[in-house]
Structures are given as structure tokens and as C-alpha cells.
């Protein structure tokens, strides 16, 4: 699988790089960013944290705004940030910010015309890690994290693939999408009207039924303007209680939905993942 380098920037002794490649899963050209910590210069293979961003984001938002490189360099963790959806002139789209390009919801779409390209679950779980592990000095030790729509994706993917990920974490995840407007709109469009097909992409439903546990950490801002109507963390907490899931949930006074919140606590998440990646 060939990849094309777009940019290179040195950061905290390591390197932030952007690449493009043709995705077979998504049937289009995709872009991703990777931060390689300084440890790779000594010939060491390092573990990888896959970061999934939220609505309207690209591979650039987290890498430029979260301030994760300092801790990643110290801990010897690579970070991979894919785009949030397939893109291009021939890719189905919608004028709304919460559907179409920039809003893939990390699902495998089954409805036309979306199913031709919107196979983000397969891309994140299978194609992208295969590419990363073949092209860069990284190991097959993986963790996954994300924000908002990406927080939902990270929790879903972690729980559906407990042997592939050492740990999972989320900032402000859309915890119960089958019961919020964002999720209902996206799932109806991508997956159809049969709501039973939605349940595999609902973190609260998956956590309620879980029998294998991936260590999980979730941080939520108390002043998040999406908290009540869209994020619904109470459903996730109830699900964790029902199954005995080991969920570390923290509610933070005064914090909102922005990258200021993520930047404030990203070090905690990286240290959480480092503990499990090194086991």
C-alpha cells in the first residue's frame, strides 16, 4: 500500500507527519496524521494511540490544538489521527455539519449512496492499523481515544474489539446516540430505519451487554452545551453499573466541549493509556 508524504514538522524531539493514500475500504483518497516520538530514532518500535476526532474535524484539529506531543514524546507513544470521513467530489455529502463529509460516525454504512464510501469502522479497525504497522516503526500494541463523535467511535471500537486494544478513552462522547438527535439522524441515514442495526454503534448499549472489559476512561465537561441533549453520559454510567464495567468517569466543573477542555486533560489520558500499553 503506497502512501504520499504531505508535510513534516519536528516536535518535542519527534516528528509530526501527514500522509495521503488510497483507501480500499472507503474507495477514495484519505489523509491521516502521525506523531512519531523520539524513541523511534533509536530503532525502537513504539505502541500507538489512535485518535478519532469529532464532527467537522479533519486529521489536523487534534494534532494542532490538543498539545499531546509533549507527553507522547515522554511516554514513547505514537499517535495516529485519521480524517473523520471519506472525502472527495464523488463522495456522498450533505449540506448539514452533522451528516456526510466530516461526519462519518465511524460506522459501516449500509444505505445507498453512503455505503459506497462510508465504511469508517472497517477503515479504523482494519485498514489503517495494517498500513501504519507496515509503514512505520510501531508495534501492534494499540489504544484508542476520541472526542464527541470520535469518543463514541473509540468506545464502540474498543468494546467490539477487546483483544485489539489495550485501553480506550473519550472526551465528551456521544454516549447514547440511539436516543439523541445527532445519532438518530446519522444512523437513519447511514444504517436505515431498522433500529436494531443501530445498537452495535451505541456505546451505552454495548457497555450494558459487555462481558469482556477494555479499561475505559471518560472525561466530561459540566458546562458542555451539548451535555443534556446530545451526549447523555447518564446512560453510559447506568450501563457501566449494570454490567460492572470498569469505567473511570470524571465530570469537570466549568469545562465545555472545546479543545481547551481536551488540552487540559490530554496528559491524564496519555498516561492512562501508557500504563495499559506497557502491560
Pairwise CA distance, residues 148 & 44, whole Å = 33
- What is the number of H-type helices and E-type strands within the chain? 9, 9
Contacts of 274 (CB under 8 A, 6+ apart): 75, 76, 77
Pairwise CA distance, residues 10 & 30, whole Å = 23
Q: Which of 139, 7, 123, 147 lies closest to 68 in space, CA to CA?
A: 147
190-to-116, 197, 251 alpha-carbon distances in Å: 11, 10, 31
Pairwise CA distance, residues 13 & 15, whole Å = 7
**H or E element that contains 221:** strand 216-221
The answer to whether 177 and 152 have CB atoms below 8 angstroms apart is yes
Q: Which three cell numbers stand for residue 155?
A: 468506545
Q: 36: how many CB neighbours lie within 10 A of its CB?
A: 23
Q: Which residues are catalytic?
A: 148, 224, 257
Pairwise CA distance, residues 190 & 198, whole Å = 10
The answer to whether 143 and 39 have CB atoms below 8 angstroms apart is no
Give exposure, 250-267, as e/b (b: 16+ Cβ within 10 Å): eebeebbbebebbebbbb
Amino acid at each position: 500500500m503506497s502512501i504520499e508524504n504531505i508535510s513534516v514538522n519536528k516536535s518535542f524531539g519527534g516528528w509530526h507527519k501527514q500522509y495521503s493514500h488510497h483507501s480500499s475500504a472507503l474507495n477514495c483518497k484519505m489523509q491521516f496524521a502521525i506523531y512519531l516520538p523520539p524513541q523511534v530514532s533509536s530503532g525502537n518500535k513504539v505502541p500507538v494511540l489512535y485518535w478519532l476526532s469529532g464532527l467537522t474535524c479533519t486529521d489536523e484539529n487534534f494534532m494542532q490544538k490538543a498539545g499531546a506531543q509533549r507527553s507522547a514524546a515522554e511516554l514513547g507513544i505514537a499517535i495516529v489521527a485519521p480524517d473523520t470521513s471519506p472525502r472527495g467530489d464523488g463522495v456522498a455529502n450533505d449540506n448539514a455539519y452533522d451528516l456526510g463529509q466530516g461526519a462519518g460516525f465511524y460506522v459501516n454504512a449500509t444505505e445507498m449512496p453512503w455505503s459506497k464510501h462510508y465504511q469508517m469502522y472497517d477503515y479504523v479497525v482494519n485498514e489503517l492499523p495494517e498500513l501504519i504497522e507496515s509503514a512505520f516503526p510501531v508495534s501492534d500494541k494499540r489504544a484508542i481515544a476520541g472526542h464527541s463523535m470520535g469518543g463514541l467511535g473509540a468506545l464502540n471500537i474498543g468494546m467490539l474489539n477487546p483483544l485489539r486494544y489495550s485501553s480506550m478513552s473519550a472526551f465528551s462522547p456521544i454516549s447514547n446516540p440511539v436516543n439523541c438527535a445527532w445519532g438518530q439522524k446519522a444512523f437513519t441515514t447511514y444504517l436505515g430505519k431498522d433500529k436494531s442495526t443501530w445498537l452495535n454503534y451505541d456505546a451505552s448499549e454495548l457497555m450494558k451487554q459487555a462481558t469482556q472489559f477494555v479499561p475505559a476512561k471518560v472525561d466530561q465537561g459540566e458546562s458542555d452545551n451539548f451535555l443534556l441533549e446530545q451526549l447523555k453520559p447518564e446512560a453510559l454510567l447506568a450501563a457501566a453499573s449494570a454490567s460492572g464495567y470498569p469505567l473511570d468517569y470524571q465530570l469537570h466543573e466549568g469545562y465545555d466541549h472545546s479543545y481547551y477542555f481536551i488540552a487540559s486533560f490530554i496528559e491524564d489520558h496519555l498516561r492512562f493509556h501508557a500504563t495499559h500499553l506497557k502491560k
